[in-house]
Amino acid sequence: MLTRGSLPGSDPSATRRRGFTLVELMVVLAIVGLLAALLFPVFARAKRAAQELGSLSNMRQMGLALAMYAADHEGWFPAVKENLADPRMTTWVDEVQPYTKARLLRRSPLDDSPAWADLANP
């Protein structure tokens, strides 16, 4: 015959707590913090590598666009314009733009300096 004390979990002196203790939560937070500290440099290196790859891709695209422009214009490269204040003047980037699939970037993804326009118009 089963008595009240013989059933599993029916001992009234053994109260079962639900949830985590403060020490357990602190251990989990310490482990998460340690993993984050280990992974942040890895993510920074991966971001830098992706920016370098993007910059190399942009330079390759510029080189191919210049080569195609030169092939279409009897070996001549686009002229360098001196009067950039005149809005009717185009730059060499504008001249080779039709030879690219995407808009050519004038700044490298690795360049974190302020833009020239920002320096000219403070």
Task: Classify residue 109 by burial, with Cβ atoms within 10 Å: 0-12, 13-18, 19+.
Answer: middle
> Cβ atoms within 10 A of the Cβ of 99, count?
17
**DSSP single-letter state for residue 121:** -
Q: What is the pLDDT of residue 120?
A: 46
Q: What is the pLDDT of residue 11?
A: 58
The rounded mean pLDDT for the chain is: 79
Q: What confidence tens digit (pLDDT) does each residue in 69-108 have?
A: 999 999 998 887 776 677 777 777 788 888 887 776 666 7
Distance set, CA 15 to CA 10, 25, 41, 98 (Å): 9, 21, 46, 77
Q: How many alpha carbons lie under 13 Å from residue 60 in its C-beta half-sphere?
A: 7
**DSSP single-letter state for residue 12:** T
